[in-house]
Structure 1
Amino acid sequence: MFIKNIKSLKFDLSLLITSICFAFIVLTLQTNFAAGKTKAKLEDICWIFQHQPNWKRSAYKASNRWKIPVNILMATIYQESRFRSNVKAKTSSAYGFAQAVDSIWAQYKKSRHIPHANRRNFNDSIDFIGWYFDKVIKRYKVSPHNTQQLYLYYQLGLYHRHAPVSSKKIASKVAHLATQYRKQLDQC
């Protein structure tokens, strides 16, 4: 009887392990599908603005203030945080929608006289990106439509001299998304 119980226990344990593995595989497939679906939606600026009308107002407000096209501001946020407010960098103090580091964020708050600006606030973050791009444009005479150059300075800092190939590839992706967003904005 004892041996029979052990065999039954082994069978039950085997069934349990198989069930757990199956559930894990199903969950993984669902998660990957959801992630792909979300990515596609976040690459659709019309969908974003339809579901986040306050973001649309903030984006156009920042665009008008800093004379930077909405599509470039939004492509930058996509690249930096995928529109997530609580993202924190592992190797720096970069945080929030704009992934702004502490020192530059402090400069922004001081120069804009916004002591309570918050990196988790979309309005503050998109205004920060416009402010930063405005600094790049004034200092280096970069066109406000040159997404790739603007993003390189955003990613590497105002004083970078040579951009690594990996940074150029990322900047190229941001420029491609900005172009896609611009075309979508004509349709929505």
Structure 2
Amino acid sequence: MRKFFFALAIILSGCVTDRNFNQSNVCDIFKTNPQWKSYAEKTKEKWGVPVSLQLSFIKQESSFNRTARPPRQKVLGFIPGLRPSSAYGYSQALDGTWEEYKQSTGNYNADRKNFADASDFIGWYVDGSYRLLKLEKSDVYNHYLAYHEGKGGFQKKSYIKKKWLLGVAEKVERQAKEYSNQIKKCNFHKNSVF
């Protein structure tokens, strides 16, 4: 019985990630969570989406918190009410969009709390925006607007009157550029696809 619990503890510890890292430093992110590097590289190979874009989206959306959700709205100023959306996990994917992703990719067991699945979701979504909206995959700014507003919202330019969102998209773009520059300086294995 002891062996069973010991084995279970080891297995479960593999599911928990350490968020005690500098979220603005890609070298620190991958040093602390080395498996994330291989997941992000796999997404880059599969969808052609830069690792720096993937990480900048995840940082903005969830701060690398696998169970992130939007805060509950307050009723009468203090009673916790409903959440404003179904966004959840690393990618903050909405329920409907997540289901569309699972159907489209055949990844029926995908979990929004799983970094590999969240990375693949972002790759799939950006690839879809690339195809529909003709956005270059390196265009972090516009891809973030399409990610936040949805592809239809982006086509309708729903972001135009949201100055706060334009500022967030600029922030995400800056972070992606920082990550991209840092990746070149990290001491990763030579066979990296960065």
Q: TM-score, normalised by structure 2?
A: 0.76
Stretches of structure 2 that go unaligned for 5 or more consecutive residues are 1-19, 71-82, 187-194
| Partner secondary structure for residue 97 of structure 1 | coil
Greater per-residue helix proportion: 1
Does 1 or 2 have the higher relative contact order (CA < 8 Å, sep 6+)? 2
Q: TM-score, normalised by structure 1?
A: 0.78
| Partner secondary structure for residue 159 of structure 1 | helix
Partner of 2:192: none
Partner of 1:25: none
| Partner secondary structure for residue 120 of structure 1 | coil
Query: Contact (CA 8 Å) 2:23, 2:59: kept in 1 or not?
Result: yes
For the pair 1:182 / 2:180, whether they are aligned, the reply is yes
Which of the two has higher C-alpha Rg? 1
Stretches of structure 1 that go unaligned for 5 or more consecutive residues are 1-37
Residue by residue over 1:162-184, the C-alpha shift from the partner in whole angstroms, topping out at 9 and shown as x without a partner, is 21211111000000000000000
Letter in 2 for 1:124: D
Query: Contact (CA 8 Å) 2:39, 2:116: kept in 1 or not?
Result: yes
Higher mean C-alpha displacement, 122-131 vs 87-96: 87-96
Residue by residue over 1:56-77, the C-alpha shift from the partner in whole angstroms, topping out at 9 and shown as x without a partner, is 0000000111101100111000
Partner of 1:17: none
For the pair 1:81 / 2:62, whether they are aligned, the reply is yes
Equivalenced residue count is 151
* Distance in 2, Cα, partners of 1:75 & 1:51: 17
Where do 4+ consecutive residues of structure 1 move more than 3 Å? Answer: none
Query: Contact (CA 8 Å) 2:53, 2:176: kept in 1 or not?
Result: yes
Letter in 1 for 2:41: Y
Residue by residue over 1:62-116, the C-alpha shift from the partner in whole angstroms, topping out at 9 and shown as x without a partner, is 0111101100111000000000000112310000000000000000001111111
Partner of 1:68: 49
